[in-house]
């Protein structure tokens, strides 16, 4: 049994250590981090999962970014402690996070990852969007929590809207 809750400030370094152990401390050299530098993750979508002993078992974060000036979300990192993998926790964090993103009004969620894993949550490859090099285009995946087509095209750029991510309710304009 896992308990999901929004990441608290005092959990931050424990979560960072989990991500370091999953991806290696060199993870910040990954191209996706060019979009994250200096930008806070969406607080309502930064989730931790703890077991009945309050041990941190998994975590997920989402970042706001821009595609040709349009707001979108970048899923990740997401990691599950090696001793708790294969129990469905990764799926729980992803589904719960995407559901929360939908409730906040986000319509486009992207990630850079393995289609064989993320395809089961509805993520699929998209054309016409470029991320900072050296991103493999085949690993750029998209999912719309409201079931919309990906109407975005262009270059992924860093978020410039401050921390007021609530203003990005694009579903209002559907
Ligand atoms: C990827 C990760 C989050 C999955 O967490 P999890 O709790 O083990 O996932 P689930 O229990 O929901 O799903 C397990 C299933 O996903 C599969 N899977 C895991 N990673 C996969 C990958 N990269 N490609 C394809 N399938 C994968 C497992 O083989 C397993 O398959 P099964 O259901 O057929 O047995 C976890 O393995 C992890 O933290 N890995 C290291 C960090 C990482 O790669 N993060 C994702 C990239 S951003």
Is the CB–ligand 1 distance for residue 88 below 6 Å?
A: yes
> Burial code of 53-92, b = ≥16 C-beta within 10 A, e = fewer?
eeebbbbbbbbbbbbeeebbbbbbbbbbbeebeeeebbeb
Which residues, other chains included, contact 114 with Cβ-Cβ below 8 Å and sequence gap of 6+? 139
pLDDT at position 162:
66
Question: How far is it, in rounded angstroms, from Cα 168 to Cα 126?
Answer: 22
Mutate to test the pocket of ligand 1, among 82, 84, 86, 97 (most ligand atoms within 8 A of CB): 86
Instruction: Name every residue whose Cβ is closer than 8 Å to that of residue 45 and which is 6 or more positions away in sequence.
Output: 60, 61, 62, 73, 97, 100, 101, 104
pLDDT tens for the chain, 174 residues: list them: 899 999 999 999 999 999 999 998 888 888 888 999 999 999 999 999 999 999 999 999 999 999 999 999 999 999 999 999 999 999 999 999 999 999 999 999 999 999 999 999 999 999 999 999 999 999 999 999 999 999 899 999 999 876 655 544 444 333
Please tell me the predicted confidence (pLDDT) of residue 171: 42
117, 120, 131: which to mutate for ligand 1, most atoms within 8 A of CB?
Answer: 117
pLDDT of residue 31: 86
- What structural domains and CATH numbers belong to the chain? 3-173 (3.40.630.30)
Instruction: Give nearest CA residue, ligand 1 atom 20.
Output: 117
């Amino acid at each position: 049994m896992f308990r999901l809750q929004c990441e608290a400030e005092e959990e931050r370094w424990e979560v960072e250590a989990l991500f370091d152990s999953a991806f290696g401390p060199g993870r910040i050299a990954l191209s996706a981090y060019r979009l994250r530098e200096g930008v806070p993750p969406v607080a309502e979508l930064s989730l931790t999962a703890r077991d009945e002993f309050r041990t941190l078992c998994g975590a997920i974060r989402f970042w706001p970014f821009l595609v040709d000036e349009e707001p979108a979300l970048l899923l990740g990192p997401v990691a599950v402690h090696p001793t708790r993998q294969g129990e469905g926790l990764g799926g729980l964090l992803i589904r719960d996070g995407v559901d929360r993103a939908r409730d906040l009004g986000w319509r486009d969620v992207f990630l850079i990852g393995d289609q064989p894993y993320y395809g089961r949550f509805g993520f699929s490859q998209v054309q016409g969007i470029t991320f900072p090099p050296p991103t493999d285009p085949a690993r750029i995946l998209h999912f719309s929590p409201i079931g919309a087509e990906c109407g975005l095209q262009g270059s992924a750029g860093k978020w410039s809207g401050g921390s007021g991510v609530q203003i990005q309710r694009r579903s209002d304009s559907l």
